[in-house]
Amino acid sequence: MPKLSHSVTATRLLCDEEVETVYRALETTMPGRTHSAKSPKGQPDAFRSCISCMLSAQSRDANTAKATRQLFALAKTPQAILALDDDTIVLAIKPAGLYNMKARNIRKFCTALLDEHDGVVPSTRAGLLSLPGIGRKCADIVMSFTFGEGVIAVDTHVHRVANRIGLARGKTEAQTAQSLEDRSPDWAKRDGHFWLLQFGKRVCQARTPKCHACVVREVCAYPAKS
């Protein structure tokens, strides 16, 4: 899980008023959730969204997409995946890397889903986290994209931006997610992921943040802003 060096961490946490200012600024300048927003990797249902999210760990988007296409061409339900032998699953998901571990997790996930949830993916964070192979990031992504919940899912961009400007604090994505959960106003949680993600891609970039064009520059706690 990505960690942040001191050089990209804010000198302080923003106060509640500043947090509100940040979200209001992003609300007016960054795209939020749209009708075209899809579940993880464009999958059409919660089950395949979970599998895709599991496959995406330490994998490039193109490789994840290839792995999911190959796997779902063979099986699209937990019952059908469990009917496949291990070698078949491994071969299908090989492009995503860590294929032996991911194959084991997928099989455990499918088994638990059938045994404990009658094959229906739970829509709560606690329910999702109870399933093998599902961590905080995956749970929040599925809750946000698939179930439309007001949850700020934390990926690399959101993790970097939140810590850099002082919106949240966490050495890992899971810690940052909890910090954002605690510190973000309820009204901003539905679209917060989308605002922070686009802000991280367009303005608050990893190596060369465009501080001169930043709409939250006045409250940002990034020590190296120029």
> Is 155 a residue of the active site?
yes
Q: To the nearest 5 percent, what fractions of the chain are helix, strand and coil?
A: 60, 0, 40
pLDDT tens column, 17-31: 999 999 999 999 998
Average pLDDT of span 155-161 = 94
pLDDT band at 83 (very low <50, low <70, confident <90, very high): very high
Of these residues, 41, 66, 102, 155, which one is catalytic? 155
Average pLDDT of the residues in 164-185: 96
Residues in Cβ contact with 153 at an 8 Å cutoff, skipping those fewer than 6 apart: 137, 140, 141, 143, 144, 145, 177, 193
Which residue among 66, 102, 137, 191 is the active-site one?
137
Q: How confident is the model at residue 3 (pLDDT cuts 50, 70, 90)?
A: very low
Q: What's the whole-model pTM score?
A: 0.83
Which one is predicted more confidently, 115 or 148? 115
Asked if the model's pLDDT at residue 38 lies above 60, the reply is no
Check residue 2 and give its pLDDT. 47
Domains and CATH numbers, the chain: 6-33+150-213 (1.10.1670.10), 40-146 (1.10.340.30)
Instruction: Confirm whether 102 is a catalytic residue.
Output: no
DSSP state of 39: S
Confidence band of 8 (pLDDT split at 50, 70, 90): low
Q: What band does 148 get if pLDDT is binned at 50, 70 and 90? A: confident
pLDDT at residue 1, rounded to an integer: 45
Question: How confident is the model over 46-69, as pLDDT tens digits?
Answer: 999 999 999 998 999 899 999 999
Mean pLDDT of 166-183: 96
52 CB neighbour count, 10 Å cutoff = 24
pLDDT digits (tens, 9 = 90+) for 87-134: 999 999 999 999 999 999 999 999 999 999 999 999 999 999 999 999
What's the whole-number average pLDDT of the chain?
A: 91
**pLDDT over 70 (residue 16):** yes
Residue 139 clears pLDDT 50, i.e. is over it: yes
Residue 57's closest CA among 155, 125, 151, 127?
A: 155
DSSP letter for each residue of 68-112? HHHHHHH--SHHHHHTS-HHHHHHHHGGGS-HHHHHHHHHHHHHH
